Amino acid sequence: MADLDALRSRFARALAGAAAPGSAPDPAPYADNLLVRWQEPQRRYHTLAHLTAVLDHVDVLAEHAEDVDAVRLAAWFHDAVYLPERSENEERSARLAERALTEAGVPAERTAEVARLVRLTVTHAPAGDDRDGQVLCDADLAVLASPPSAYAAYTAAVREEYHFVPNEAFRAGRAAVLRQLLELPALFHTPHGQREWEATARHNLTGELEMLSLPDTPGV
């Protein structure tokens, strides 16, 4: 179970690092609003566990970032608005970040950077010189390099989030996503991600795609 107090402290540190000196209000209401969002009942994968994992992976990759506090805030907001049946979650999450961070005393340029990073999670395709984008995207996709049992739990949770999609349609859609990922020249962009996660992630994706190709595969 997530440690809510620890998460509140992590948000407060990131906000303090990004806000203009002396301008940040009490971070607790902002953290609590986000924590409520991340615990909404429609979520199965995009939960507090996912948020915590992304924040942990940002910490692992921190040395590769230029503005790690902006990346941490983007992690908090990147799926803050999430409805599985909607396609504009990232845009709505970015707009939420723009409103909340402006109110919380984060300078306009930094607020815009957080929102840009949130929107980048639509494609997970940061530019070669976009170090902050590379860190956020790698942290978000690090789940693809999970050990077998954790990867199985991830795929099961994704399927539960899309419970309203018929099985055949889900399998076709998921297979298309996997093929698209496998066709990328690289899943990860930071040196750490490429070294530590790339091969395992490709192995996991290939195995899942093979399972989806089997008739009447249970649990997918």
Note the pLDDT tens digit of each residue in 144-162.
999 999 999 999 999 999 9
For residue 154, the number of C-alpha atoms closer than 13 Å in the C-beta half-sphere is 19
Taking Cα atoms as reference points, which of 51, 199, 206 lies closest to residue 136?
51
Contacts of 21 (CB under 8 A, 6+ apart): none
Read off the pLDDT of residues 4-51 as tens digits, 9 standing for 90 and up: 999 999 999 999 999 988 766 899 999 999 999 999 999 999 999 999
Supply the pLDDT for residue 174.
96
Judged against a pLDDT cut of 70, whether residue 218 lies above it is answered with: no
> How confident is the model over 103-124, as a mean pLDDT?
96
Supply the pLDDT for residue 1.
63
Read off the pLDDT of residues 158-193 as tens digits, 9 standing for 90 and up: 999 999 999 999 999 999 999 999 999 999 999 999
Other Cβ atoms closer than 10 A to 95: 16
Supply the pLDDT for residue 2.
72
Other Cβ atoms closer than 10 A to 110: 18
Averaged confidence pLDDT in the chain: 95
Judged against a pLDDT cut of 90, whether residue 97 lies above it is answered with: yes
CA 124 distance to own-chain centroid: 10
Angle, vertex CA 190, rays to CA 10 and CA 155, nearest 5: 70
| pLDDT more than 90, % of the chain | 92
Contacts of 82 (CB under 8 A, 6+ apart): 37, 40, 42, 43, 46, 89, 93
CA 127 distance to own-chain centroid: 18
Supply the pLDDT for residue 24.
66
Structure tokens at 67: 């503005």
Contacts of 107 (CB under 8 A, 6+ apart): 19, 20
Other Cβ atoms closer than 10 A to 74: 31
Read off the pLDDT of residues 191-208 as tens digits, 9 standing for 90 and up: 999 999 999 999 999 999
**CA–CA distance, 80 with 75 (Å, rounded to integer):** 9
Domains of the chain and CATH, by start: 4-143 (1.10.3210.10), 144-212 (no CATH)
